[in-house]
A and B are shown apart, each in its own frame.
Chain A
Amino acid sequence: EDQVTQSPEALRLQEGESSSLNCSYTVSGLRGLFWYRQDPGKGPEFLFTLYSAGEEKEKERLKATLTKKESFLHITAPKPEDSATYLCAVHPNTGGFKTIFGAGTRLFVKA
């Protein structure tokens, strides 16, 4: 069964304290892995797409990496405005257009 697991469930950081979020996936072939940011009361907002192992994408303080079994979202010197829930999602290679989401990591950054 296709599955996405994110860890930790919640992460509390001090401003400037770098860390990483993990997304482990089990799919019958990966067409794409996506990271989204979700603020309270809003829909998810797209951050990155990764397609193959070894690929990396960066945007400001965020960097996403991909291996054959997992993806990491590295946050360098986070600021309070980075506080949000970060969702990982995959498109499995099973036909159709179903996206499978992880439960997310709630990130809290304290000033």
Chain B
Amino acid sequence: SAVISQKPSRDICQRGTSLTIQCQVDSQVTMMFWYRQQPGQSLTLIATANQGSEATYESGFVIDKFPISRPNLTFSTLTVSNMSPEDSSIYLCSAGGTMNTEAFFGQGTRLTVV
């Protein structure tokens, strides 16, 4: 198993600003994932964070809006750039979930853009 620490747990931000979310895993993992979860909705994969290479983004998500860093095998950041109220959501960091194994999640970051 893996323990994932994610911060901040919540934030209220002004539109047009950016927020960086941090994710720390207690063990080395090959792949980390960033999800968005809107109220009452499914988890939607934003991107896969790969150590040593650029993140792989899902359809509808672009690097300019959601830049991701993965400097080592235990840490990743997701930045939500030039925020608008539509970006208000819960953002979740995940590790594992590869090779048919279960995923482990951080506690999420509840973002409100005003």
Contacts and interface: CB of A to CB of B under 8 A. Distances in A.
A binds B: yes
Interface of A: 4, 9, 31-32, 34, 41-46, 49, 51, 87, 89, 91, 97-99, 101-104
B97 to A, nearest CB: 5
A46 B104 contact: yes
B43 A87 contact: yes
Interface stretch (B63-71, B74-82, B106-114): B106-114
Contact of A43 (B45, B99, B108): B108
Nearest to A48: B102
B53 interface: no
Classify chain B's interface size.
Answer: 20 to 34
Nearest to A51: B100
Contact of A41 (B94, B101, B105, B110): B110
A97 B98 contact: yes
A98 B100 contact: no
B103 A46 contact: yes
A41 B102 contact: no
A101 B105 contact: no
B25 to A, nearest CB: 13
B108 to A, nearest CB: 5
